[in-house]
Amino acid sequence: MIYNFLTNSSQFHIPTVPPSPPISLDPQIQNQNQTPENTELTERNMALVSSPPVNEGPLFAEVDMGADTSAPTVRATVVQASTVFYDTPATIDKAERLLAEAASYGSQLVVFPEAFIGGYPRGSNFGVTIGNRTAKGKEEFRKYHAAAIDVPGPEVDRLAAMAGKYKVYLVMGVIERDGYTLYCTVLFFDSQGRYLGKHRKIMPTALERIIWGFGDGSTIPVFETPIGKIGAAICWENRMPLLRTAMYAKGIEIYCAPTADSRDVWQASMTHIALEGGCFVLSANQFCRRKDYPPPPEYVFSGTEEDLVPDSVVCAGGSVIISPSGTVLAGPNFEGEALISADLDLGEIARAKFDFDVVGHYSRPEVLSLVVKDHPMSPVSFASASGKAESSHI
């Protein structure tokens, strides 16, 4: 079943996709591909097979290859919306409105985009050229640093309370502040309002490296929950085969991919990961227009500002949900802010793994193996009086 919801609760349909069926929680899902044309073709082909005598049973027992009604189904939503830039309290207020709406549709898992809280500074160069950093760029970083959040901290407490209030598992992209280093981070919360942990992006892309630190192997979690094993990789680190392999080895079943990449080719990467990992892939991206960022000269899109008007789209979304078989369940949406939802039949994971289990029966550990250093990599350690080393950060 496929559901695409706009944030005004009206139903949204991708133009090239047939209209979605009405919402139904009935576990007996009808064949949505049945048309008069293929019905006639099927009946004509069936006529070529001779029927058994009337008084004899069928030659073969009927096997139901549809969804296993004993396997749980999880309703998931990816949020496609923009940050309120430089205004973290307003952004969290917006997140709560979107979370409440997703919960009203029966969603059990809600995934927000990369850097939703704190903002993705698209188009900015922070005044950096090789060998020089401008005063204006340094002030821009000061404001960006102020919009980030501490983990743990009051904003994390509020997000946890929101997850508990609406009884959903919440995956939230944030900019994390650790002293004067920022990290592009994903936070995880359960439906009881508990903070589960975080993933820090291990490899920022291109100019992101001047504003974000590098995560290490201590924050590559996969959380076992009643709705499945959940983890996340952020934007282009999804293109790192070894990181994906580490997550597959941890048993990930619901693979969250918050991103800032709205190009068509992103869809190919998401489909590949679903097939490779035998997992559901939930990719959430922001949809932003120029007017969602502060106006110039406070904020400038370097090299393109003169070509932009307030309604110019600067990030076109493309959020999508894909099954372990590579089937697109919902999206991609390139039209505007939206809540994009689908029901995940968790029984499909086992069916996909029967074909291909990259860290199981389809692996060759005697030929190829991976070592993951999963301990914190602190730049400074202090030796206590007992001789035991103590890290400067937990």
Looking at residue 323, which CATH number applies to its domain? 3.60.110.10
Say if residue 300's pLDDT is above 50.
yes
Task: Tell me how many degrees the CA angle 176-272-235 measures, rounded to the nearest 5.
Answer: 15
CB atoms within 10 A of CB 219: 17
Q: Which residues have CB under 8 Å from 271's CB, separation 6+?
A: 281, 322, 326, 328
Say if residue 101's pLDDT is above 90.
yes
Cis preceding-peptide flag for 295 (omega within 30 of 0): no
**10 — pLDDT class (breaks 50, 70, 90):** very low
What is the reported pLDDT for 236? Answer: 93
Q: Is residue 44 part of a domain?
A: no
Higher pLDDT, 159 or 42: 159
CB 143 within 8 A of CB 136: no
- Indicate if 37 belongs to the active site: no
What is the reported pLDDT for 378? Answer: 86
- For the chain, what is the radius of gyration of the CA atoms? 24
Say if residue 136's pLDDT is above 70.
yes
For residue 36, how far is the Cα from the chain centroid?
37
Select from 165, 209, 162 the least CA-distant residue to 187: 162
Residue 289 pairs with which residues in a beta bridge? 313
Helix-strand-coil split of the chain, %, nearest 5? 25, 25, 50
Say if residue 208's pLDDT is above 80.
yes
Provide the 3-class DSSP secondary structure of residue 207.
helix
Higher pLDDT, 177 or 27: 177
**Residue 278 Cα distances to 220, 245, 306, 350, 362, angstroms:** 19, 12, 45, 8, 12
Distance separating alpha carbons of residues 106 and 75, to the nearest angstrom: 7
**356 — pLDDT class (breaks 50, 70, 90):** confident
Q: Which of 101, 114, 176, 253 is catalytic?
A: 114
Secondary structure letter of residue 333 according to DSSP: E
Say if residue 1's pLDDT is above 70.
no
Select from 168, 191, 3, 186 the least CA-distant residue to 99: 168
**Which residue range(s) make up the domain with 343?**
73-355
Q: Is residue 33 part of a domain?
A: no
What is the reported pLDDT for 220? Answer: 94
Say if residue 217's pLDDT is above 80.
yes
Say if residue 318's pLDDT is above 60.
yes
**39 — pLDDT class (breaks 50, 70, 90):** very low
**68 — pLDDT class (breaks 50, 70, 90):** low
Q: Is residue 130 part of a domain?
A: yes
Select from 141, 136, 140, 147 the least CA-distant residue to 176: 147
Residue 189 pairs with which residues in a beta bridge? 170, 195
Across 62-88, average pLDDT: 80
Say if residue 364's pLDDT is above 80.
yes
What percent of the chain clears pLDDT 90, i.e. is strictly above it?
Answer: 69
CB atoms within 10 A of CB 103: 20
Q: Is residue 59 part of a domain?
A: no
What is the reported pLDDT for 385? Answer: 72
Say if residue 190's pLDDT is above 90.
yes
Secondary structure letter of residue 318 according to DSSP: -
Say if residue 257's pLDDT is above 50.
yes
Q: Is residue 49 part of a domain?
A: no
Q: Is residue 233 part of a domain?
A: yes
* Mean residue pLDDT across the chain: 84
Q: Which tokens sit at 144?
A: 């960006």
Lowest mean pLDDT among 9-13, 172-176, 194-198, 351-355: 9-13
Domains in the chain, number: 1
Q: Is residue 316 part of a domain?
A: yes
Higher pLDDT, 44 or 100: 100
Q: Is residue 201 part of a domain?
A: yes
From start to end of 112-204, where are the E strands?
Answer: 128-129, 132-133, 169-178, 181-189, 195-200
